[in-house]
Chain A
Amino acid sequence: MKNFNSPSLALISSLCFVFVMILFSSCEDQVSSTYTYRTMVPVYLQMSDFRTNEALIEPGKQLENPGKIYIYGDFLLINEPQKGIHILDNSNPSSPESLNFIKIPGNVDLAVNSNMLYADNYLDLLVFDISNPRAIKQVQRVEDVFQNMYTDASSGTFMTLKDTILTAESNFMRGWWGGNIFWNRGGMLSFSNDAASSGGGESYGQGGSMARFTLMNAHLYAVDDYSLRVFDVQNKELPKFLSTIDLGWGIETIFPFQNKLFIGSNTGMHIYDATEPSSPTMMSVYQHVTACDPVVVNENHAFVTLRSGVNCRFGVDELQVLDITNLYEPKLLKSYEMLNPHGLGLAGDMLYLAEGKHGLKSFNVADVLAIDENQLEFLKSLKSVDIIPGPKSLIVIGPDGVCQFDYSNPNRLVQLSCINVKNPVVV
Chain B
Amino acid sequence: MKFIFCVLIQILVMSQFAFGQKAVGSYFHHIEVGITSGRLNNSPRLDYTLQSLHGIQLDAHNKLGFFVGLDSYPKQVLMPLGFGWRNTLSPNRRNSLSFGLDIGYGSSWLDRKELEGNFEKWNEGGFMVSPIIGIARKSKNGALAYTWNLGFKKQFASTFEGVRGTGVGGVDGIRPGYDSIFEERYVFNSLILRWGILF
Contacts and interface: CB of A to CB of B under 8 A. Distances in A.
Decide if A and B are genuine partners: yes
Contact of B183 (A34, A172, A175, A425): A34
Contacts of A427: 166-167
Nearest to A34: B183
A174 interface: yes
Nearest to B187: A30
B180 A23 contact: no
Interface string B181-199: 1111111111100000000
A27 B74 contact: no
B173 A16 contact: no
B94 interface: no
A38 B99 contact: no
A181 to B, nearest CB: 5
Interface string B68-79: 000010110000
Contact of B170 (A16, A65, A179): A65
B169 A424 contact: yes
A348 interface: no
Contacts of A248: none
B113 interface: no
Contact of B152 (A23, A64, A311): A23
B89 interface: yes
A185 B185 CA distance: 18
A150 B136 CA distance: 81
A59 to B, nearest CB: 21
Interface in B104-135: 118, 131, 133
A176 B91 contact: no
Interface stretch (B16-24, B25-33, B40-48, B138-146): B40-48
B44 A202 contact: no
A425 B168 contact: yes
A426 B170 CA distance: 7
B43 A178 contact: yes
A29 interface: yes
Interface in B42-61: 42-48, 60-61
A131 B179 CA distance: 41
Given A28-B189, A33-B184, A201-B172, A19 B167 contact: no
Given A29-B40, A176-B41, A311 B167 contact: yes
Interface in A313-371: none
B190 A201 contact: no
Given A36-B180, A426-B168, A178 B173 contact: no
Interface residues of A, number: 60
A12 B99 contact: yes
B125 to A, nearest CB: 15
Nearest to B62: A8
B177 A36 contact: no
Contacts of A66: 169
Given A12-B89, A18-B131, A38-B180, A185 B74 contact: yes
Interface string A164-206: 0101000011111111111001000000000000001111011
B13 interface: no
Contacts of B41: 31, 172-173, 176-178
Contacts of B38: 27-29
A425 B42 CA distance: 42
B152 A179 contact: no
B4 interface: no
Interface string A240-281: 000000000000000000000000000000000000000000
Contacts of B133: 16, 19
Contacts of A201: 171-174
A28 B154 CA distance: 11
Given A29-B186, A30-B187, A178 B89 contact: no
B168 A205 contact: yes
A391 interface: no
A201 B180 CA distance: 14
A19 B101 CA distance: 10
A3 B101 contact: no
A177 B179 CA distance: 28
A115 to B, nearest CB: 30
A104 B93 CA distance: 84
A38 B183 CA distance: 15
B177 to A, nearest CB: 5
A90 B68 CA distance: 58
29 contacts: A3-B60, A8-B62, A8-B87, A15-B87, A15-B131, A18-B131, A19-B133, A29-B39, A30-B189, A31-B184, A36-B181, A64-B169, A165-B172, A174-B182, A176-B74, A176-B75, A177-B43, A178-B40, A178-B45, A180-B46, A181-B46, A181-B48, A182-B46, A206-B168, A421-B169, A423-B169, A424-B177, A426-B164, A426-B170
Given A19-B152, A181-B48, A185-B74, 17 more contacts: A19-B131, A29-B45, A31-B41, A33-B183, A38-B174, A38-B178, A173-B40, A176-B41, A178-B42, A178-B44, A180-B44, A181-B46, A181-B72, A201-B174, A202-B173, A203-B171, A424-B177
Sorted from nearest, which 10 A-B pairs have the closest CB atoms?
A: A178-B43, A201-B173, A180-B46, A65-B169, A37-B180, A423-B170, A165-B173, A201-B172, A30-B187, A200-B173
